[in-house]
């Protein structure tokens, strides 16, 4: 019987297929019967995942328990390894098969480190001092954290130091308002256009509305829309809970000292509040002074670079928190928030930033820049020294350098812009859907199932030639599904048929004569 097998479709007999857990073990073990646990952890971290990722909790908990039961507390055989990873095997398989949005994550992280070091050398700018608590931060503090939509993490610098969100909270509370009430209701009270004026001006648009929710007037009105009728305590708890969900339950705190400092030095915002009240910009029944108190409190919410990067990644991921998988915001809320961040998020530098960087972002006077690469990642840059427009000097430089190196600008063409790197493609050039590779030439047993013990990556084509009791196989890259199909030819003796014998072009088709075929279970 002749069977022509190509890359698209193959005739198969049922057989015993290896599990994903087995394939993962063999890919890490590289021919050994046991692997040290730290080798698995090291390989896991190279994909960008953290051992503390909430999605891997079952795996990590089981790993700790299992190692305690082993004689040396270090080594895992195939059975123990399978026991540890089976609860999270789908996520782990995606990670090790380089199916995440950034396949070559270590290479990408190295580029981020280089950009960070470049920014570290900058010395310009001044730390904000109009809020006394902000003036206490060292100008040398500098941190960058990122989180991809698949939960890959990388941080460099002072990423554990807490700082207040300040104006970076504006797009977040706007997103919550739209999530709760919808776009149409929110924009009855707030416009959508850049103001062309300083962020704290007492100025409204032609309809007597604040220009947008990214300036102080718009953010104050936006604050009044959240949990109307509830007490400030209830509103604050509600918003803190929401922000913690956006941050994947990572650090979100509150600086009472900054809040008190904000309120004591908030004459301009009180003036804006009374102006908004005069123009009837608030919903009926709004207590303006209570709204301002909550506004100051929200500006005083603390994060660190790592937790803020997860918030940004939740926006990049369409409202789903990447590290918990929880739906936090509606698609409508995310879309509208990113649109306004793109046009209005960077104070009087918004147009320049949109032109040169081409990504939605929001800056704050504490030195943070919340940057979103839609469908790819969220980034938080933090460095207290600000330029004359109120944006972090190092943060602006980092964002500019990022899109100069990578094709992340919204209007970079992904197919024809060859001058930039594309980290979304494996090798920065083209995506290869391979995980488990075999050496180019490898002597394997006649039964493909037995050959699995030597598998490191999956084959794309299988070319065999008789050699005593074994077959010589030549492998190229392929995905897991096709590997499963290859191995399904259980108990079959394969003999390569010459292209002329079957009138097929061997450059694109692999042809076999299949003999002694038996059904597998």
Q: What is the predicted pLDDT for the residue at 47?
A: 96
In this structure, of 91-95, 362-366, 382-386, 472-476, the range with the lowest mean pLDDT score is 472-476
Q: Given pLDDT bands bounded at 50, 70 and 90, which one contains residue 398?
A: very high
- Rounded average pLDDT over 475-491: 45
Residue 160 has pLDDT above 60, yes or no: yes
More confident site: 437 or 421: 421
- Rounded average pLDDT over 30-55: 94
> Given the DSSP bridges, would you call strands 301-303 and 163-164 parallel, antiparallel or unpaired?
antiparallel
> Which distant-in-sequence residues (6+ apart) come within 8 Å of 254 by Cβ?
240, 297, 300, 301, 302
Closest CA to 125 of 397, 309, 355, 345: 397
Residue 3 has pLDDT above 80, yes or no: no
Distances in whole angstroms, Cα of residue 503 to Cα of each of 5, 495, 498, 499, 511:
13, 16, 9, 6, 10
- Rounded average pLDDT over 111-126: 96
Question: Would you state the structure tokens that stand for residue 502, as one six-digit string?
Answer: 């079957």
pLDDT in tens, 487-519: 444 444 444 445 444 444 444 444 444 444 344
In contact, 109 and 154? CB cutoff 8 Å: yes
In this structure, of 60-74, 339-353, 381-395, 444-458, the range with the lowest mean pLDDT score is 444-458
Dump the DSSP string for 47-73.
TT--TT-GGGHHHHHHHHHHHHHSSSS
pLDDT in tens, 245-304: 999 999 999 999 999 999 998 899 999 999 999 999 999 999 999 999 999 999 999 999
Distances in whole angstroms, Cα of residue 404 to Cα of each of 85, 152, 338, 377, 424:
39, 22, 21, 17, 16
Q: What is the predicted pLDDT for the residue at 480?
A: 46
Residue 52 has φ and ψ, to the nearest 5°, of: -90, 5
pLDDT in tens, 303-327: 999 999 999 999 999 999 999 999 9
Question: Would you state the structure tokens that stand for residue 465, as one six-digit string?
Answer: 């030639």
- The string over 427-462, giving b where at least 16 C-beta atoms fall within 10 Å of a residue's C-beta and e elsewhere, is ebeeeebbbbbbeeebebeebbbebbebbbbbbbbb
Q: What is the predicted pLDDT for the residue at 467?
A: 38
Q: What is the predicted pLDDT for the residue at 417?
A: 67
Q: What is the predicted pLDDT for the residue at 428?
A: 63
- Rounded average pLDDT over 154-167: 97
Q: What is the helix (H) or strand (E) element at residue 148, kind and residue range?
A: strand 143-148
Residue 118 has pLDDT above 60, yes or no: yes
How close are the terminal C-alpha atoms of the chain, in Å?
A: 22
> Which distant-in-sequence residues (6+ apart) come within 8 Å of 69 by Cβ?
none
In the sheet with 301-303, reading across from the earlier edge strand, the strands are 163-164, 301-303, 253-254
Closest CA to 224 of 198, 258, 190: 190
Q: What is the predicted pLDDT for the residue at 132?
A: 85
Say what percent of the chain tops pLDDT 90. 70
Residue 138 has pLDDT above 70, yes or no: yes
Distance CA 26, CA 455 (A): 6
Q: Given pLDDT bands bounded at 50, 70 and 90, which one contains residue 465?
A: very low
Closest CA to 142 of 129, 151, 125: 125
Mean pLDDT of the chain: 83
Q: What is the predicted pLDDT for the residue at 429?
A: 44
Distance CA 317, CA 327 (A): 10
Question: Would you state the structure tokens that stand for residue 172, as one six-digit string?
Answer: 């977040």
């Amino acid at each position: 019987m002749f069977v022509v097998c190509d890359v698209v479709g193959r005739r198969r007999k049922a057989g015993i297929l290896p599990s994903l857990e087995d394939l993962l073990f063999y890919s890490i073990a590289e021919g050994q019967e046991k692997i040290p646990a730290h080798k698995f952890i090291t390989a896991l971290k190279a994909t960008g995942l953290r051992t503390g990722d909430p999605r891997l909790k079952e795996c990590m908990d089981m790993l700790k328990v299992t190692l305690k039961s082993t004689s040396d507390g270090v080594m895992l055989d195939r059975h123990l390894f399978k026991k540890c990873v089976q609860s999270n095997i789908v996520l782990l398989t995606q990670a090790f098969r380089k199916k995440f949005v950034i396949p070559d994550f270590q290479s990408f992280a190295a580029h981020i480190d280089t950009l960070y070091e470049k920014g570290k050398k900058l010395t310009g700018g001044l730390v904000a001092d109009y809020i006394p608590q902000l003036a206490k931060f060292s100008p040398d503090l500098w941190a960058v954290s990122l989180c991809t939509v698949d939960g890959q993490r990388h941080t460099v610098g002072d990423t554990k130091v807490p700082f207040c969100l300040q104006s970076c909270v504006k797009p977040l509370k706007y997103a919550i308002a739209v999530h709760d009430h919808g776009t149409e209701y929110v924009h009855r009270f707030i416009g959508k256009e850049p103001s062309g004026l300083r962020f704290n001006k007492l100025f409204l648009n032609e309809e007597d509305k604040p220009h947008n929710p990214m300036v102080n007037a718009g953010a104050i009105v936006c604050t009044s829309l959240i949990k109307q009728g509830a007490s400030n305590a209830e509103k604050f708890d509600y918003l803190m809970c929401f922000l913690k969900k956006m941050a994947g339950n990572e650090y979100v705190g509150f600086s009472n000292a900054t809040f008190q400092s904000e309120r004591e030095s908030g004459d301009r915002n009180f003036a804006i509040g009374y102006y908004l009240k005069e123009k009837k910009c608030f919903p009926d029944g709004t207590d303006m002074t209570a709204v301002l108190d909550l506004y100051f409190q929200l500006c005083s919410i603390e994060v660190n670079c790592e937790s803020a990067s997860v918030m940004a990644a939740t926006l990049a991921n369409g409202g789903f928190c990447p590290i918990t998988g929880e739906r936090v915001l509606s698609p409508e809320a995310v879309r509208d928030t990113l649109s306004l961040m793109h046009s209005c998020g960077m104070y009087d530098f918004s147009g320049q930033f949109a032109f040169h960087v081409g990504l939605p972002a929001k800056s704050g006077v504490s030195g943070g820049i919340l940057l979103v690469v839609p469908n790819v990642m969220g980034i938080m840059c933090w460095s207290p020294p600000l330029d004359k427009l109120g944006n972090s000097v190092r943060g602006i430089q980092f964002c500019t350098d990022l899109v100069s190196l990578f094709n992340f600008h919204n209007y970079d063409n992904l197919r024809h812009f060859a001058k930039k790197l594309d980290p979304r493609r494996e090798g920065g050039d083209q995506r290869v859907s391979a995980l488990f590779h075999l050496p180019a030439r490898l002597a394997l047993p006649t039964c493909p199932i037995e050959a699995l013990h030597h598998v490191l990556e999956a084959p794309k084509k299988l070319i065999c030639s008789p050699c005593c009791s074994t077959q010589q196989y030549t492998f190229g890259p392929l995905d897991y599904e096709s590997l499963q199909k290859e191995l399904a030819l259980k108990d079959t003796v394969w003999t390569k048929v010459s292209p002329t014998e079957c009138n097929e072009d061997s450059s694109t088709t692999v042809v076999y004569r299949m003999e002694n075929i038996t059904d597998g279970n």
